[in-house]
Structure 1
C-alpha cells in the first residue's frame, strides 16, 4: 500500500513537471514569434496604378525592424511602427521599393509601381 502511494506521487510529480515544462516552452515560443518571423512591412493605403498628381503618400506599418528605406533613402517610423512618406512621381512609370531590415540582418522588400499622367493626358487613357 505504501509502495503504491510512492508510485502514485511520483507519477503525479512527473505529470506536473511535464505540464510545467510544456507551458514554459509554449510561452518562450510565443514571445519569440516576431524574432522567428522576421521584419514585416504592411501598406495601409494601397494607392492605385494611375495618378494625375505628382506627389503621393505611402503609408503603412512595420513590425520588428531596425531600419527602413524608400528607394534606398532612409525613412523613419513612430513608436508604433507607423510611417507616412511622400513620393514624387516622375513622368511615366515610377517604381517604389520599401526595404526593411531587422537587427539580425534579415531583409524584406515591398515593390509597387505607379504611373504619373497629367490630368489632360489621363483623360485620354481612360
Structure 2
C-alpha cells in the first residue's frame, strides 16, 4: 500500500513537471524562433508592366520592419502593405525584420518591370 502511494506521488510529480515544461516550450516558441516574414505579393520572379507595385505580407515576432531600408509598419494582425515604384528592368525588393533580441531575417523578392511598348 505504501509503495503504491509513493509511485502515485512520483507519477503525479513527473506528469505535472512535464505539463509545465511542455506549456513553457509552447508559450516560448514564438520568442525562440525569431522574426518571421511572409511576403504574399508580389511573387518572387514576377514580371509586371506597371512601375507602381504594392508589397504585401505578414510579419510575426517583429519589432522593426524595413522595405529596402525604409521602415514600414504592420497592423495589429501583423499585416503590412506598402507601395513602391520600380525601375525598368530587374529589381530586388528586400523586406527585413528585427526582433526584440536584435535577431534579423530578410526576404528578397525579385521582380522584373517590362513596360508596355508605346503605340
Same fold (TM over 0.5): yes
What CA RMSD, in Å, does the superposition of the two structures yield over aligned residues? 1.3
Q: How far has the Cα of 1:45 moved from its partner?
A: 2.7
Identify the residue that residue 94 of structure 2 maps to in structure 1.
97
Higher relative contact order (CA 8 A, sep 6+): 2
Question: Which has the greater radius of gyration?
Answer: 1
Work out which of the residue numbers 23, 26, 30 in structure 2 matches 1:27.
23
Establish whether residue 114 from structure 1 lines up as the match of residue 118 from structure 2. no
Flag structure 1 segments of 5+ consecutive residues without an equivalent: 122-126
- The Cα offsets for residues 11-44 of structure 1, whole Å up to 9 and x where unpaired, read as 1011011001000000000001111111000112
Range with bigger deviation, 62-71 or 112-121? 112-121
Runs of 4+ residues deviating >3 angstroms: none
Question: Whose strand proportion is higher, 1 or 2?
Answer: 2
Aligned length: 117
Flag structure 2 segments of 5+ consecutive residues without an equivalent: none
